[in-house]
Structure 1
């Protein structure tokens, strides 16, 4: 039996809010200390440049932060929750579209986990392999638009790659499981090849290699937390809805 879309959107919002909060707190507790360290290193580098180039450089480079770091930390969590809510709506709509023919209420737990894993790969992992995250403030302000366009293109390619991989798996339903798995793996490799055909990051990253690696790993981990919590909450709410609908249907069948 098909589940109404409105309750599905409610589950998406609840799961998105919880996932955004979890990812925001993860970043606040683990990634932000690295951010503070990167900022201190950048300030030290700027101070050295000012000392080298004199008062003229000082007048140009010296500025005060518009928001304090504590305000930025609070904004990080709020932004993560808002982003999670938006992802929840998009996830619920995509979930309804993919499973519209087989019934939205069937096997909610494994479907939510599989869909969440596919979303992580398409939206976070594949684009992140081509364009790893950099600390804020790194990069030329004049290349922001081009960098955003490249990232968006990578996300679109990742999503299309996941859709194609699913279609390949479904179309080869009459073949053996190893054949289907190999076909999906080949599709993934082809998606990566297309991703790496995109232009590289146009800006240098003047950050210590260890610090940059830690930041990128924590950034990817925060995405993993986001999608894991989202899929878990979305699937759990689906199970709860399914178990509530069973007793209501039994008297009618009797």
Structure 2
């Protein structure tokens, strides 16, 4: 008997709700903790650029070049809005990926542990592995002419991380009949191979002229915001899955009462 399958549309709604809440949480986290570091990094970069331009006798040009189109308060509000929008998009994509992963075993089965496992795997594939190769740098740091190259490298790292995670999952599933140590070793070898491919990519084309302590704090907070994003997504997505499963059990018909042979049920 095949496992029950949850329609994809309600699952997509759960993904959007979880993604929106997760994006809001990550945006507020970044606003309260990471933005002060960003402000410091931007001031340091502006001072360094102004000093370099002044050394070439073009201080006025430097001031005009660094004039802000939007105030920092507007940028702070935009950070939270952007985080929510990104969370919604991420939630929709994650819900579709979740449906693909569990299409053969029933989407509505064991929603809580599956959501936590999916969230942890997504964090490793989308955030942790690419972040090991290309750690986050404060905004405004780096040559504006290499933005497209840096974005392409980051996207390539994300693709490699996702493919590596999918490959590790396939290895674990296909070795289901083998002893547990064999499966774990095979998954570990797959992870090491993924890291090797990641570090075969070209390095960051720009230097990061920021104090080491400031850069370290910013990168740790950036990684923490990603961890918070996926943790909140997994918790909300799993909780909504438990609620849907409980509602489905409450609506399921109970057993039909049986009457002894030869007797009729009383008519009321």
In the superposition, the TM-score normalised over structure 2's length comes to 0.91
Count of residue correspondences: 252
* Structure with larger Rg: 2
What's the counterpart of residue 132 of structure 1? 135
> Cα distance 1:38–1:237, how it changes in 2: closer, same or farther (>3 A)?
same
What's the counterpart of residue 152 of structure 2? 149
Q: 2:73 aligns with which of 70, 75, 85?
A: 70
User: Cα offset for 1:38?
Assistant: 1.0
Higher helix share: 1
SS of the residue 2:160 aligns to: helix
User: Cα offset for 1:51?
Assistant: 4.3
CA distance in 1, matches of 2:200, 2:192: 12
What's the counterpart of residue 183 of structure 1? 186
1:51-62 aligned at under 5 Å gives the runs 51-54=54-57, 57-62=58-63
What's the counterpart of residue 165 of structure 2? 162
Q: What is the CA deviation profile of residues 200-248 of structure 1, one whole-angstrom value per residue up to 9, with x for unaligned ones?
A: 0111111111111111111111000000000000000000000010021
> Cα distance 1:104–1:68, how it changes in 2: closer, same or farther (>3 A)?
same
Q: Which deviates more from structure 2 when the two are superposed, residues 158-167 or residues 59-68?
A: 59-68
> Cα distance 1:76–1:15, how it changes in 2: closer, same or farther (>3 A)?
same
- Are positions 1:93 and 2:96 aligned together? yes
In the superposition, the TM-score normalised over structure 1's length comes to 0.96
Q: Let me know the Cα RMSD of the aligned residues.
A: 1.2
User: Cα offset for 1:48?
Assistant: 3.0
- Are positions 1:204 and 2:207 aligned together? yes
User: Cα offset for 1:143?
Assistant: 1.2
CA distance in 2, matches of 1:78, 1:253: 52
What's the counterpart of residue 225 of structure 2? 222
Runs of 5+ in structure 1 lacking a partner? Answer: none
User: Cα offset for 1:253?
Assistant: 6.5
